[in-house]
Structure 1
């Protein structure tokens, strides 16, 4: 064996060791980066809103970029007198992107301190004041509607209602993309009396979710009929005539409007879901009349909902 052969073998072995070491090093760096991201999720609460303020209750809502558990601590003298979980939680906080906490049993016309605890993040202490005591209601029924995302009901979000002269009202988007916003006890911005809207009062609905946002401007009515469905990304103005909001043909309504509210929306999709299988209680849920309510019917309803403007 000559000297070149003796030198070549160690050199090749050394290169293999070096390349192997580099590969291991890159793997460890990527692994550490992955673990670092997983260990520090974005839990900072944003879009914090105190709404639905009445004399003995209020709603605190916020959004996070990562699904995390959240709750609120609150009190008069300090923020840690009481802990309130998300409205959807039973005993243990669950993971959500959109968070809503209803605080009850408060005292009228009283200032409260509160703090949002979102995952491992503790927000700064903030304050709000409850409204003056009142037994009055304005007689208006809740605002009911539904939200779509890519043709299907939005899974999680918040609906906020703003009216000039009144405090903001909010409702959680749930149950097949539906939301309900109570306005019968909606307060004036001065926290004194109950706001008294008229039938043509202009209101603005704002949808907030991890999938995006949407807005709808409309005139209030007292008939309790649901608003037309709104899609994420839309900016609708229905003040000209809410009656023209649905462009569905009569034949479409006859087939797809399963709850007979004159709109084809997530509520109808929910009826199909509830009747999945053979021998459905609601026969009309079998949209293709093949004797069974299944994915084909869900797809038909989704397609028809996506066509609504």
Structure 2
């Protein structure tokens, strides 16, 4: 079962390459040929495979890109303080769309482990759901650090060789730059791979940290439908209108409020209009209608 994930990813990459080859062959058959073949003779059968491999190499350019080009930057990287109470860490993991989350101690540049969601759930089940009996560091994976100058081809080979999916990217001084996954590289090869966490709604984008960035003009009803939320739409039609109604004001940029079980942070204001918001679910016990958060808690 541990090998199933990387095997599926590798199969997806192979299928993507095959699709590209098929598209290339169909284009040739219909008369759409590459510029360097225009006016030339049809390649001999024995050279066809080599020509296709060269074309694929030009298409992917894995040796010309570095992990820093596709990584999740540290500012968008979801991570957790290893010194937090186990209950808080488990809650964050369960709310995260990611299966692996780095643990740090002291600062983000001191990554001490990587937690896998299924390992956390297994440990919690074995402890009878008693958080005090769960030692998260006991089963946290050792972090794997890779230089930000590593090429995608080198990193892909390393992922497959180690049967791994996840690495922390560091600069020449050892400071954390971000993280890179096998999926990031595969998407660079075959294009973006949609999954169940993707949101098919204009003006709405789900971030790596689990928050959702929303244009102020997005209708509340559409947002509720896309995310299975239940924000009220009786007094306002758009998400910006809801924030204005609840706060009875037009908030400034970086102001934050908590109501209806969500934290709303104003990211951009255009004159008297809220242009963009960041929304994140919070614990119902902490949700207080239209109460601004202090700067320290934002």
Shorter-normalised TM range: under 0.3
Asked which structure has the greater RCO (Cα within 8 Å, sep 6+), the reply is: 2
Question: Given the two structures, how large is their TM-score scaled by the length of structure 1?
Answer: 0.22
Question: Given the two structures, how large is their TM-score scaled by the length of structure 2?
Answer: 0.23
Which is richer in helix? 2
